[in-house]
Amino acid sequence: MVLYFIKSTFLLLIFCLIFKWNLENKKSLQFIRYYLLSSIVFALIVPLFNFQFLVPQNKIVETKEYIFNQLPDFPVTIINNVPEKNVSIVLMIYLLISGTFLIRFLYNVYKILQIKRSGKKEETSFGNLILSNKVISPFTFYNCIYINEIEWENKNLNHAILYHEQAHVKQKHTIDILVIEALKIVLWFQPFLYYFKRIIQENHEYLADEFSLQKTNNLKNYQELILNYYGNNQPIVALSSSIHFNNLKKRFIMMKNTKKGKVWGTIFYSFTVALTYVGFVGIEAKAADIKKVEDKISNVVEQAVKQPIEIKSTEPIVEETKDVIKNNPIILAYIKGEKSSGYFNHKGSIYFYVVDESLKVSIYNRYGVVQNEKDFTYELKAVSKAEKEKLTLDELKRSAQVQNDYQDIKEIEKKYAEAHSFVEKKAAPREGLQAFFGNFVRAFDSKTITTNDTLISARLKFIVEKDGSFSNIIAVGGGNETAANEAIRVLQTMPKWQPAENEGQVVRSTFTLPIKIKINQPLNEVEN
């Protein structure tokens, strides 16, 4: 299931990028509709199949197997099967969530059918109408248009709106939505399904807008009609197609847009992706061998980290020696007269190396690709067998720490990327900046700072949440580490801010706060 999820997500991501590159905001609306639907079908069905081809013997597998055999001997248990109890729990969670989605789907269908049964039916030139006072805003489901009975009897409905809903019926947009909703019941964990549903619904609205404008040929009046329904801000019935879809700005742009999408370019790139995928899956059998070796090495790393061996912390690097250390070559340890192997960290990545009896060096990245020597500077160091094992153990521990630190950094970067950097109204202290800095200085304990300087500097970056609280506080730009830590501590104790606003809505936003404090100075001399 995990492998299927990775494959399908990757394919959906690629098709999504192709769409955004060649088709987004373009007028090839019918092609876009079928492209999006076929992308979903391909990405969700094809990964269920394996394509087997003959693959020649891979020397990289042999290299990694040799490296594994040379690693320190730790007691490693390879688990091939997940315990039945764990499988049952996971299955129960999956079925519970799927059941919830199924119930919601059936309930939404029931709501629409209930409106249909209780409503008044009328056949018109626009199609089958269902008149009901339960309907706030016109919508379409399958072959029926649902409208408010009073609006219809009072003849308050503009024909442009009815043409819009008629387009949904004629082009059978409901089928698209039902297919995606059915897929969500089974594949609710696939995030791209939700994104594809949104852009497919947007495409439906563009198609309906185009149809209505062809019938009425009055752009200004049609846009005013949409504005009226948008301003009512009434919820629509789930699973339906409605004129009230929340993409007002884009819809107005699309009404005037005449630029066609790159249809043949899209087909070419998509076909290339499909062939590339089949080719990679075809060598999956051999890739599984590589993964098996890597899994063994990962287990060794885990066991190494768990070993009760004390790692002594080193003294902080003196500032003036950082450049010298940065240029130091990587040391590759080997045993004289024997074939030796190991691996090392370089810029956050792990590399494997083999030194043969003649001191010829081969270096591979984690995917088995041979590295060019210009990527590193390295020196060979002859060591004893015991020294070699100790160095390997130390490297295993460092490798595990590098991976953990890297994951922490990526998680923080993700959170900052999800917050707004540019907003119409920035976040700010409720009491005002001057009062905030005054309170900040009063809470700042300069006694904790290890420095002889009279001016303490720090630069904090953080996220102001929608409720005004602070999260993901980090120090940026260097400076005194103890001062930065104290500044972070103080900020965590400060009252909540007024959050940022963008387009009339409260949003999460990033904020960079420079702090400069003169020690033993009056508060009115604080610089900020």
pLDDT of res. 148: 86
Sheet holding 144-147, edge to edge: 120-124, 127-131, 144-147, 139-141, 241-242
- 72 within domain boundaries: no
- 293 within domain boundaries: no
Residue after which a domain boundary falls, among 261, 283, 298: 261
Instruction: Determine the Cα–Cα distance for residues 52 and 286; give it in Å rounded to an integer.
Output: 10
- 75 within domain boundaries: no
Label residue 363 left, alpha or beta by phi (over 0 means left) and psi (-120 to 50 means alpha): beta
Angle between helix axes 29-45 and 263-282 (nearest 10 degrees) is: 0
- 272 within domain boundaries: no
pLDDT tens per residue across all 528 residues of the chain: 677 888 888 889 989 989 888 888 888 888 999 999 999 999 888 888 766 555 455 555 556 556 655 555 544 444 444 455 566 888 888 899 999 999 999 998 999 999 999 889 988 888 889 998 888 888 898 889 998 888 888 887 888 888 988 999 999 999 999 999 999 999 998 889 999 998 898 888 889 888 988 888 888 888 877 777 665 545 556 666 666 555 677 778 888 877 877 788 888 888 888 888 776 665 554 555 555 655 665 565 555 545 444 433 333 333 434 444 345 678 888 888 888 888 777 776 777 888 888 888 888 776 556 665 556 778 888 888 778 777 776 776 666 665 565 566 667 777 777 888 778 888 999 998 888 988 888 888 877 777 767 777 778 889 999 999 999 888 876 667 788 888 889 999 999 999 999 888 999 998 888 887 776 544 444 444
CATH number (domain holding residue 489): 3.30.1150
**Range list of β-strands (E), 406-449:** 428-429
Residue after which a domain boundary falls, among 204, 236, 261: 261
Q: How far is CA 496 from CA 48, 242, 429, 439, in A?
A: 50, 40, 7, 13
Residue 177 belongs to domain spanning: 2-49+81-261
Instruction: Determine the Cα–Cα distance for residues 255 and 263; give it in Å rounded to an integer.
Output: 20
pTM above 0.75, yes or no: no
pLDDT of res. 478: 62
Instruction: Determine the Cα–Cα distance for residues 65 and 519; give it in Å rounded to an integer.
Output: 60
Instruction: Determine the Cα–Cα distance for residues 206 and 254; give it in Å rounded to an integer.
Output: 7
Residue whose token pair is 């299927």: 4
- 363 within domain boundaries: no
Query: How far is C-alpha 230 from the chain's CA centre?
Result: 30
- 251 within domain boundaries: yes
Residue after which a domain boundary falls, among 229, 261, 293: 261
pLDDT of res. 102: 94
Exposure letters 30-51 (e unless 16+ CB within 10 A, then b): ebbbebbbebbebbbebbeeee
pLDDT of res. 4: 81
Domain tally, the chain: 2
pLDDT of res. 498: 93
